[in-house]
Amino acid sequence: MGPIDEAMTKYKKAIKAVLALPVACTVCYGCGQDASDADGQEDRKPLNIIYIMSDDHSYQTISAYGSRLIETPNIDRLADSGIVFTNSFVANSISGPSRACLLTGKHSHKNGFTDNTRTFDGSQQTFPKLLRQAGYETAVIGKWHLTSDPTGFDYWNILVGQGEYYDPVFIDNGERKVIHGYATDITTDIALDWLKNKRDPEKPFCLLLHHKAPHRTWMPDTADLGAFDDTFIPLPENFYDDYEGRPAAAAQEMEIGRDMNLIYDLKMADKEGTVPTGGWLGDYGRELYARLSPEQKAAWDAYYDPIIERFKADSLTGDALTEWKYRRYMRDYLSVIQSLDRNIGRVLDYLMESGLWGNTLVIYTSDQGFYMGEHGWFDKRFMYEESFRTPLLARYPGGFHGEVDAFVQNIDHAPTFLEMAGAPVPDDIQGGSYLSFLRTGKVERGKHWRKSLYYHFYEYPGEHSVRRHYGVRTDRWKLIHFYGDDIDCWELYDLKKDPHEMSNIYGSRSYRRIQKKLHKELRRLQALYDDPVEQELALGNQ
């Protein structure tokens, strides 16, 4: 065990000891004690909610999920005293749609925000509006990405569109302001300021704290440049995938080797301009660099210039170039996570210092998962595991501590928060409340929990060329239908035998029975969620 490992073990022990301290108060919003512990009864006042969501953070890069690439000690603090959901998924693996699912508790075809080109209809029912009616104060800070202005929030201060890493523009309740600094720090500063100085301390609150990090193009904070240069980064087992039997996987445009831009994504903009820009993306990459302040540029140059020189001297080609790109991508991505984790620590520290830790539900998740080189990819979109899954950790004061393997999906947050607030959950919400998992780790007695998940992705034609598809996943099987003018293809995976989804067994005689069962389950889910796509396609094909 090296010195860093030893320090980590000590740190984790110390944190566990603090978290295990007995606590007693039920009545106030600021004493720091676990609300439900005082007399063995539930809290009489509703808990606050802090929902922290990052953008494109893979479970593969969280130590609580067993990452060997990075330690995320602050995100792990939620695991140390709360729940790691080991089967957490999204309904549509892309930002805007994921956010619309969160707000409405409904699948994309019901909330209307099916892909990133849409504008969210802010007049519809959302959980922040319902929480407000139940007496909560609500705020959203950071990435919003739904085009229309937020509705249902007492306070909103959001990034424009995707947002920038450096000197980002925020829209503060309608007013645009450029803020000097690094997006993850600034988003956290704004959130802490709201918690400390702006909210009404008499009311329970719900804060949605949405980070831009670690979205493309993975620009680290100057403080974290080079933090992972000595980390061993192995290639994923299926890095060199040939996509045999999977035409949609073969048709994507998100391969690290072919599609990742040297300048835009990997920051190889040399001063002489000899590294080819690879089109407009590279030009845009040069612009991003040009926009840095002199101090930011100096830190950037000190780190990247020697790497650029070495890169030029090595003149890599073929697999060597692809693997170099992969490791550069990963080192930047991990550095961005380091800042994210540090900033989550700032929020948790404040909750502990202020006493809010004892009566606040804290969630950490991402808008979807992300490829860390699996199948040779970056980005998301597919119903394959790495992007269908999303990390989810939750710490409910006085609640369950451990792993929960029930299937949860991002449409479940809305009903959970409403139930927790004692507000009615409208019938048209499609997700289920996971409150009993938070409290006891189990499904409520006498109730059933889902055994299968429904997924539907729509953004095609679109960036990265992932075809439209829908599907069903059970604990062992996954059935997917890719559809559209240029594709009509079913895929079936046995996740037990083939966890990396390399072998499409659809149509194989030995799996005929399970295939039939999954088609039936898919039809059941499409009827349950009222998504008529399969019927529409069948009609179109007649």
In this structure, are residues 372 and 60 in contact, taking their beta carbons and an 8 Å threshold?
A: yes
Using the minimum distance from each CB to Ca ion, give the nearer residue, 378 or 483. 378
d(CA 63, CA 364): 13
Closest CB to ligand SGN among residues 154, 379: 379
Residue 55 in the binding site for ligand SGN (CB under 6 A): yes
User: Considering beta carbons, is residue 116 or 433 the nearer one to ligand SGN?
Assistant: 116
Q: Is 116 in the site for ligand SGN (CB under 6 A)?
A: yes
Quick one: which of 448, 363, 446 has its CA closest to 410? 363
Among 52, 94, 101, 208, binds ligand SGN (CB under 6 A): 94
CA 207 to centroid of chain Cα atoms: 17
Which of 217, 250, 310 has the alpha carbon at shortest distance from 486?
250
Burial class (CB in 10 A: 0-12, 13-18, 19+), 234: exposed
Tokens 């002199």 found at: 294
217 part of the interface to ligand SGN, by CB under 6 A:
yes
Q: Which is nearer to ligand SGN, 377 or 493 (CB)?
A: 377
Choices 49-57, 74-82, 144-152, 518-526; region in contact with Ca ion by CB under 5 A: 49-57
How far from chain centre, in Å, is Cα 55? 5
Length of the chain: 542
What string of DSSP letters covers 12-43?
A: HHHHHHHHTS-----S-SSS-S-TT-SSSS--
Residue with nearest beta carbon to ligand SGN: 95
Extract the tokens encoding 320. Answer: 């060597």
Residue 95 binds to Ca ion (criterion: CB under 5 A):
yes
Tokens 């494109």 label which residue? 56
Per partner kind, with CB cut-offs from 5 to 8 A, the member of Ca ion, ligand SGN, none near residue 464 is ligand SGN
Crossing angle of the two packed helices 3-19 and 73-81, in degrees rounded to 10: 40
Give the Cα separation of 486 and 122 in Å (integer): 34
Q: Which does 116 bind (CB under 5 to 8 A by kind): ligand SGN, Ca ion, none?
A: ligand SGN
Long-range contacts of 108-114 (CB under 8 A, 24+ apart): 108/456, 108/458, 109/456, 109/529, 109/530, 109/531, 109/533, 110/428, 110/430, 110/529, 110/530, 113/146, 114/458, 114/459
Binding of ligand SGN by 287 (CB under 6 A):
no
Residue 463 is a binding residue for ligand SGN (CB under 6 A): yes
CB of 60 to ligand SGN, least distance (A): 16
Q: Is residue 379 part of the contact set for ligand SGN (CB under 6 A)?
A: yes
In the list ligand SGN, Ca ion, none, the entry touching 33 (Cβ below 5 to 8 angstroms by class) is: none
- Closer of 164 and 189 to ligand SGN (Cβ): 164
Asked if 97 contacts 411 with a C-beta cutoff of 8 angstroms, the reply is: no
Backbone angle region of 6, left / alpha / beta, with phi > 0 → left and psi within -120 to 50 → alpha? alpha
Binding partner at 341 among Ca ion, ligand SGN, none, C-beta below 5 to 8 Å by kind: none
Element (H, E) at 79: helix 73-81
Stretch binding ligand SGN (CB under 6 A), from 124-132, 213-221, 414-422, 518-526: 213-221
Rule CB under 6 A: say whether 95 interacts with ligand SGN.
Answer: yes
Contacts of 415 (CB under 8 A, 6+ apart): 105, 127, 425, 429, 431, 432, 433
Instruction: Scan residues 137-156 and list those touching ligand SGN (CB under 6 A).
Output: 145
Q: Which residues, other chains included, contact 162 with Cβ-Cβ below 8 Å and sequence gap of 6+?
A: 143, 145, 212, 215
Binding-site size for ligand SGN (CB under 6 A) equals 14
x-marked contacts with Ca ion along 413-452 as a string, rule CB under 5 A = ----------------------------------------
| Binding residue for ligand SGN, selected from 12, 45, 216, 500, defined by CB under 6 A | 216
SS3 call for 341: helix
Is residue 259 close enough to count as binding ligand SGN by CB under 6 A? no
Could you tell me the CA-to-CA distances from 533 to 46, 108, 471 in Å, in that order?
A: 40, 12, 11
Element (H, E) at 523: helix 512-528
Nearer to Ca ion by C-beta: 213 or 292? 213
Interface residue with Ca ion among 115, 367, 385, 521 (CB under 5 A) is: 367
* Contact track, ligand SGN, 156-195, x by CB under 6 A: ------x---------------------------------
Per-residue binding string, ligand SGN, 32-51, x by CB under 6 A, is: --------------------
Q: Give the DSSP H/E element, type plus range, for residue 472.
A: strand 468-473
Pick the piece of the chain touching ligand SGN (CB under 6 A) from 195-203, 210-218, 309-317, 528-536: 210-218
Which region among 81-89, 214-222, 238-246, 509-517 touches ligand SGN (by CB under 6 A)? 214-222
Instruction: Name the residue nearer to Ca ion (CB basis): 212 or 473.
Output: 212
Return all residues near 161 (Cβ < 8 A) that are at least 6 apart: 145
Q: Tell me: does residue 55 bind Ca ion (CB under 5 A).
A: yes
> Which residue, 99 or 395, is less far from Ca ion as judged by CB?
99
The listed partner (ligand SGN, Ca ion, none) that binds 498, CB under 5 to 8 Å by sort, is none
Binding site for ligand SGN (CB under 6 A): 55-56, 94-95, 116, 145, 162, 215-217, 367, 379, 463-464
List contacts with Ca ion (CB under 5 A): 55-56, 95, 367
